[in-house]
Structure 1
Amino acid sequence: MAQLATGKVDRRVRRTRELLRRALLELILEKGYARVTVQDIIDRADVGRSTFYAHFRDKDDLLAYGLEALRSAFVPAGSEGSPSLAVFEHFRESQEVWQAMAGRRGADAFARQLHEFLTELVGEQLRARAPHGPTRVPVDALVEFAVSTMIGLGMRWWRMGEEPYPAQEVDRLYLQLTEPAIEAGLRPAER
């Protein structure tokens, strides 16, 4: 019986968070991220202020929550597909999110959150590949290179509309551009 009750709470939590996330996206499309208030979000989602704050600290926290779906999609290297493919597939599958967040009305806040989020994920991947000791290029610089290229290529692809290339092709291009530099940069530093 306790498991059933926990399941109901989990479903309610997920449903409430999804209502709040959807309300934020709709409002960003209408008025831009900077002009959206927590009051706007709770009015649109039809939830109370205490409910909002039981789930999120502020609208930035709600924005970050939307990126967490990407974390579970970000597959480790060696699995089916590359980690970057998961990102490009997320770009394709979540066009409504990207329209709201990457468009001019949400771009600054979203770009900052996305960059921080991908820096954490790509950083984990590259640090796991790095040898012990110094590398030819500092790992943090390689992470910045990989993340900036991923975001730039992904945003360009998304803005082209009508999906001119499948996600797998964009990922192939990304890997062709970045892997040689990453491999060279991760080599042990010459002494």
Structure 2
Amino acid sequence: MSINPMQLDPRVKRTHHLIRDALLSLMDSKGFDHVTVRNITQHAEINRATFYLHYEDKYDLLKKIVNGMLDEFAAAFQLPPDFEAADFVQDANTPPESFIRQFQHIAEHAASYRVMLGPNGLPGFSLRMEDIIRESLYRRSVIAQPNDQQVTMPRDIIVRYVTSAHLGIIMYWLENDMQYSPKYMATQLIRLHEHGSTHFFKGNA
């Protein structure tokens, strides 16, 4: 039976943070393949017995870090179960709360995302992020227009395009030290979704 992280003893939470921060720091400097459990325990200043009390090996640790990040990423972007087409934002300058939440989540875990998406990060991590974004945007597109006959371009092409743009904006923000607020980024993203990029080169912004 899984344990709710909120129910963990504070000392256990602290140990988890120490171990996970150690792995991410080591991955950033030399890549996951070159990291050993010994490296992790030394960096976290714990003994090996403590590590193995919580994780089977470094692969189990990595899996739990990644799954936790992506579960939270998906939850931040999730629509309410009763969401309807009428609930979509009518004003392109007013971003949906789910867009803001997603940028807030990225901001709260920026160091982890920079590592995972960086040169020594996890291959395929960005693809898993993309899958989450695409599934959510596809659902939104179906809510907005459920009839494929009324969509003037194949739905999959539209969703793939906006998914790539969505992830690209997130990565740009991280690469540039998150110089804008989550709300500002969410606003620019929804404006791009609504208008397309060429709109902003015509003096109409």
Query: After TM superposition, is the score higher than 0.5?
Result: yes
Q: Note if 1:67 corresponds to 2:70.
A: yes
Distance apart, 1:145 and its partner CA: 1.6
Distance apart, 1:26 and its partner CA: 2.7
Distance apart, 1:106 and its partner CA: 0.6
Counterparts of 1:34-49 in structure 2, within 5 Å, are 34-36=33-35, 47=50, 49=52
Q: TM-score, normalised on structure 1?
A: 0.67
Which of 132, 143, 147 is 1:132 aligned to? 147
Which of 110, 113, 118 is 2:133 aligned to? 118
Point out the structure with the larger helix share.
Answer: 1
| Residue equivalent to 2:27 | 28
Give distance in 2, aligned partners of 1:95 and 1:146: 23
Amino acid at match of 1:26: S
| Residue equivalent to 1:166 | 181
| Residue equivalent to 1:152 | 168
Decide whether the 8 Å contact of 1:32 with 1:105 is kept in 2. Answer: yes
CA offsets 1:119-149 (integer angstroms, 9 cap, x no match): 2333332233232333222332222222211
Decide whether the 8 Å contact of 1:122 with 1:147 is kept in 2. Answer: yes
Decide whether the 8 Å contact of 1:31 with 1:105 is kept in 2. Answer: yes
Decide whether the 8 Å contact of 1:29 with 1:100 is kept in 2. Answer: yes
| Residue equivalent to 2:121 | 106
CA offsets 1:78-121 (integer angstroms, 9 cap, x no match): 49834222222222222211222222211633212222222233
Give distance in 2, aligned partners of 1:112 and 1:71: 13
Instruction: For structure 1, list consecutive stretches of 5 or more residues without a partner in the other structure.
Output: 1-5, 182-191
Give distance in 1, aligned partners of 2:96 and 2:5: 34
Percentage of matched positions with identical amino acids: 21
Q: TM-score, normalised on structure 2?
A: 0.63
Instruction: For structure 2, list consecutive stretches of 5 or more residues without a partner in the other structure.
Output: 89-94, 197-205
Q: Structure 1 residues 20, 169: closer, same or farther in 2, change over 3 A?
A: same
| Residue equivalent to 2:203 | none
Aligned-residue CA RMSD (Å): 3.7
Q: Note if 1:88 corresponds to 2:103.
A: yes
Amino acid at match of 2:171: M
Decide whether the 8 Å contact of 1:74 with 1:84 is kept in 2. Answer: yes
Decide whether the 8 Å contact of 2:138 with 2:159 is kept in 1. Answer: yes
Give distance in 2, aligned partners of 1:58 and 1:97: 14
